[in-house]
Amino acid sequence: MELDESRVPALPVPANIIHEGAEQFWLEIIGDSVNQYAANGAHVFCTGTWDWARDTDDLYSRANGKLVIVNRWRGDLFERTCKLLRVENGKAQLIPASTSRRWASELPVELNENGDTTRVEIFAVVEWIGSPAP
């Protein structure tokens, strides 16, 4: 969920991750699918994918092992979620990073058509996790 602009000034961000002219925004984590990094209610500061990376190869090499914001379309349904990007042998997968049993059996999401998912894209890279964090 994107945060109300009025809440943003109260959330500190290291100056070195502010990129002039880049699409940057705060989101709030809802749920426990990435609780190894960001707890339910944590605020994450994100940079739009193509303001953060030059191309797909740059994204995969620099964001491997980082949290990313993902857009998924399933027919008429749209979902924006946070996942851990894992790249192995040039193949990217999006996985939960959770201690919850609920997510233990979830299959990695591929960055292409996957079952009833018609489109998957990395929308942004998480650059900073604000409080509350685990």
- Other beta carbons within 10 angstroms of residue 86's beta carbon come to 16
What's the pLDDT score for residue 10? 63
Q: How large is the average pLDDT for residues 105-120?
A: 73
* pLDDT single digits (tens) 3-51: 555 554 467 788 899 999 999 999 999 999 999 999 998 999 999 999 9
Helix (H) or strand (E) holding 87: strand 77-88
Four-way CATH pick for 22-129: 3.40.50.2300, 3.10.20.440, 2.10.109.10, 3.30.390.50? 2.10.109.10
According to the model, what pLDDT value does residue 45 have?
94
Entry pTM = 0.85
Asked whether the predicted pLDDT for residue 134 surpasses 60, the reply is no
Q: What are the strands, taking DSSP E only, across 11-66?
A: 24-28, 43-48
Provide the pLDDT for residue 132.
Answer: 55
Tell whether the model's pLDDT for residue 133 goes beyond 50.
Answer: no
Q: What is the DSSP string of 1-67?
A: -BPPGGGGGGS---GGG--TTS-EEEEE--SSTTTTTS-TT-EEEEEEHHHH-SSHHHHHHHHTTSE
